[in-house]
Amino acid sequence: MATLREVAELAGVSVATASRVLNGSAHPVSSDVRDSVQTAAKTLGYTPSAAAQALKQQRSKIIGVIASDILDPYFAELARGIEIEAAKSGYVTILANANRDPEQERTKFRVLREHQASGIVFCGSDIEGAPGTAELARDVNMAVRAGTRVVALAPRGFDSTKIIIDNVEASYELTRYMLSLGHRRVTFIGGVPGLTAVEQRADGYRRAMFEAQLVPHVVGRTGMRQESGRNAIAGIVAEGSLPEAIVCANDEIAVGVLAYLWTSGYRTPEDVSVAGIGGTRGGAVFGLTTMTLPLVELGGLAARYIASASAQPSVPEPPRFELSIGSTTAKATSGQARSQQFG
Amino acid sequence: MATLREVAELAGVSVATASRVLNGSAHPVSSDVRDSVQTAAKTLGYTPSAAAQALKQQRSKIIGVIASDILDPYFAELARGIEIEAAKSGYVTILANANRDPEQERTKFRVLREHQASGIVFCGSDIEGAPGTAELARDVNMAVRAGTRVVALAPRGFDSTKIIIDNVEASYELTRYMLSLGHRRVTFIGGVPGLTAVEQRADGYRRAMFEAQLVPHVVGRTGMRQESGRNAIAGIVAEGSLPEAIVCANDEIAVGVLAYLWTSGYRTPEDVSVAGIGGTRGGAVFGLTTMTLPLVELGGLAARYIASASAQPSVPEPPRFELSIGSTTAKATSGQARSQQFG
DNA sequence: TTGTACGCGTTATCAG
DNA sequence: CTGATAACGCGTACAA
């Protein structure tokens, strides 16, 4: 690793001059000196030390990303959005998985701070009553007061900047769409008990159902993954009563539902309409109807906020979700209406 | 951000002593002094500066990860494996997407080096003849000679440490399995022309076909994503000739194939057997037959290699793949054999 | 067992 | 326009 001093020596100038040339400082440098420094840097393969720069400037061009599960496309898309936008400003993202565990989040948060991250993004929401939540909140609040930029992209019980898509509304509108198709027996599948963002989606679903004077059914709250959806629908089928329509807590769950239905001989949307929430890449190939949340864009907003040069960057509005109508939902048929059992 | 000196002052000791207490040095410190330093650190919320540590020790606890596409579960699993193992040794992973573009890889590689990463992992393979490949190789080779640990988890044309699963063999064995089921018209779907790892998989497929005295058919080389599989199989169906079995370049493609088949009224494995390569989480819910590559483990090996304390860590053997038989493959039926058209 | 002092690579201030 | 020099926060010889 060639250092600035080596470059300076080779170019026959001082380190100060070399620094001015190599970091795009506004300070004026004559063009011939500039050239000799640059050639020297090139021949030596000079790479500036981000560590030294961070030490000097009390701030490193690092954005920390705390995700629940990078294997979940929801978080992968957020991470990608953050990374793309961060790179545009010369920032780099440190990715940390925390498995929705406040203790792990606390550890990762600390490590990220040790690396002088300019900002830290929490991608997922918290789980009500999870042990360690209060301590995490304390740490975060302390960091925020100390000037670290912290952004939450989902509901969180600490005092960070928040850029949050309205989960209640997204789910409400999706459910309304299902009802507008004529379905009455609409079931909500999936989630993790206490996981705030998903509870909000369940709430939006319930509101739409109540308004239509229907009884909500929320089942299969065993996780956010494809298997959860598969297991939940398998249970429903085992009980003998397929609903007319299913709203899933996220796209992964919806794909799991589709997988079960298709491998079991059911058809969508003929036998049952299925929709997800998220709009992640995984649902597209199945023609999944979903409430698309602009996740890449959302991540980008967080990154831009953190990378912003201004001392008090304005908090961006969360992007608006949008209904993507696919081929897994259709109008209720008379046959479905006839076999109504609950609701 | 409280500094070591502030802690030392509060505890009434020298920075040297504080340092020795707070970084787990072997140097002896009396227990009462130790206590006072620790309480001082706690009350001040002391966080060591990774930047200063990195600067001092000429090495930061960072592992750089260069992936092609974090939305592809293949890379997401590798990234997760790296991250889990890295965290165990107090390392942190910087994730960089490079879209299989050598120019971008070069940029990311440089940035990672600026951050004094102890090591850098290339997750994907290279594309033959892609512009910038030679320059990337030059940079990497230079870095390797300068002592940076570079690991490639797929075939690469530079002099890094390599931990690579045998793609030819994995694909060969999978194809052999398909043949053992009695299928003769076996098609290989997907890939990116020149993408080394996938060319190897195609080669393994071809070898198995040749040995069985069958004519190989490689089609749909338009990408590694679900849509690629969907489009490829759609094209095949449009031509009117469904093969008996399909080997896909990866699991994503296989899922795309399944999606098309199921939404078009075909059944697996009754109408056609489908298998993937990778063993990523996405295929599991569909009961996809696949050659499972232990990706999380593979990533972990790379991380352990980089985090290893020894000066010359031994290069680990790549983990062995394993056939996972699901419900998307079955023995050939007489009906399929009768309608044989090519091969 | 504890403290002093230097330097890691950079940037910024101040002289020239 | 250029150069010398003082930090930034930490680890570690070396001295006590």
- The CATH T-level fold of domain A167-288+326-337 is Rossmann fold (3.40.50)
Q: In this complex, which residue's CA is closest to the C1' atom of nucleotide D1?
A: A29
| Chain C bases closer than 7 angstroms to a protein Cβ | 1-5, 7-13
Nucleotide nearest to B28 (CA to C1'): C1
pLDDT tens, position by position, A67-84 = 999 999 999 999 999 999
Interface test with B, best of A285, A286, A289, A328 (most B CBs within 10 A): A285
Which pTM does this prediction carry?
Answer: 0.93
pLDDT tens, residue order, chain B (343 aa): 789 999 999 999 999 999 999 987 888 899 999 999 999 999 998 999 999 999 999 889 999 999 999 999 999 999 999 999 999 999 999 999 999 999 999 999 999 999 999 999 999 999 999 999 999 999 999 999 888 999 999 999 999 999 999 999 999 999 999 999 999 999 999 999 999 999 999 999 999 999 999 999 999 999 999 999 999 999 999 998 899 999 999 999 999 999 999 889 899 999 999 999 999 988 899 999 999 999 999 999 999 999 998 888 999 999 999 999 999 999 998 655 444 443 3
Of the pLDDT bands very low, low, confident and very high (cuts 50, 70, 90), residue A334 is low
pLDDT tens, position by position, A103-114 = 999 999 999 999
What are the start-end ranges of the E strands in chain A? 60-67, 92-97, 117-122, 149-152, 161-162, 186-189, 217-219, 245-248, 273-278, 289-292, 322-324
Within 10 angstroms of residue A28's Cβ, the number of other Cβ atoms is: 7
Q: In this complex, which residue's CA is closest to the C1' atom of nucleotide D9?
A: B52
DSSP per-residue string spanning A256-267: HHHHHHHHTT--
Nearest CA in chain A to B78: A71
Query: So what's the pLDDT on residue B339?
Result: 44
Spatial CB neighbours of A180, under 8 Å, sequence gap ≥ 6: none
pLDDT tens, position by position, A220-265 = 999 999 999 999 999 999 998 899 999 999 999 999 999 999 889 8
Q: Which residues touch strand D (CB under 7 A)?
A: A 12-17, 20, 27-30, 32-34, 52, 55-56, 58; B 1, 3-5, 15-16, 19-20, 22-23, 25, 46, 48-49, 52-53, 55-57
Interface of B with A in 219-278 (CB under 8 A): 225-227, 229-230, 255-256, 259, 262-263
**Is there contact between A134 and strand C, defined as CB under 7 Å from any strand atom?**
no
Q: Is the dihedral of CA A74, A79, A84, A86 positive or negative?
A: positive
- Cα dist from A175 to A108, A252, B165, B170, whole Å: 37, 18, 46, 45
Nearest to B51 among A54, A77, A262 (CB): A54
pLDDT tens, position by position, B187-241 = 999 999 999 999 999 999 999 999 999 999 999 999 999 999 999 999 999 998 8
- B226 and A92 within 8 Å at the Cβ level: the answer is no
Nearest to A70 among B79, B115, B284 (CB): B79
- A83 and B96 within 8 Å at the Cβ level: the answer is yes
B43–A contact, CB cutoff 8 A: no
**3-state SS assignment for residue B127:** strand
Contact B287/A229 with Cβ under 8 angstroms? no
Nearest to A79 among B70, B112, B116 (CB): B70
pLDDT tens, position by position, A276-318 = 999 998 889 999 999 999 999 999 999 999 999 888 899 999 9
Spatial CB neighbours of B337, under 8 Å, sequence gap ≥ 6: B182, B184, B244
Parallel, antiparallel, or unpaired: how do β-strands B289-292 and B273-278 relate? parallel
The separation between CA B313 and the C-alpha centre of its own chain, rounded to angstroms, equals 21
A142–B contact, CB cutoff 8 A: yes
pLDDT tens, position by position, A13-60 = 999 999 999 987 888 999 999 999 999 999 998 999 999 999 999 989
Q: Which residues make beta-bridge pairs with A122? A: A66, A152
Nearest to B287 among A54, A84, A263 (CB): A263
Domain A58-162+295-319 has CATH 3.40.50.2300: yes
Distance from CA of A36 to the nearest CA of B (A): 22
Tokens representing residue A58 in the block: 């009390």
One fold for B58-162+295-319 and B167-288+326-337: yes
- Sole residue written with tokens 């107090």: B90
Interface test with B, best of A120, A227, A263 (most B CBs within 10 A): A263
Spatial CB neighbours of A321, under 8 Å, sequence gap ≥ 6: A165, A166, A169, A170, A173, A279, A291, A292, A293, A294
B326–A contact, CB cutoff 8 A: no
| Chain D bases closer than 7 angstroms to a protein Cβ | 1-5, 7-13
From the list A306, A336, A333, the residue with the least C-alpha distance to A60 is: A306
Question: Domain ranges in chain B?
Answer: 4-48, 58-162+295-319, 167-288+326-337
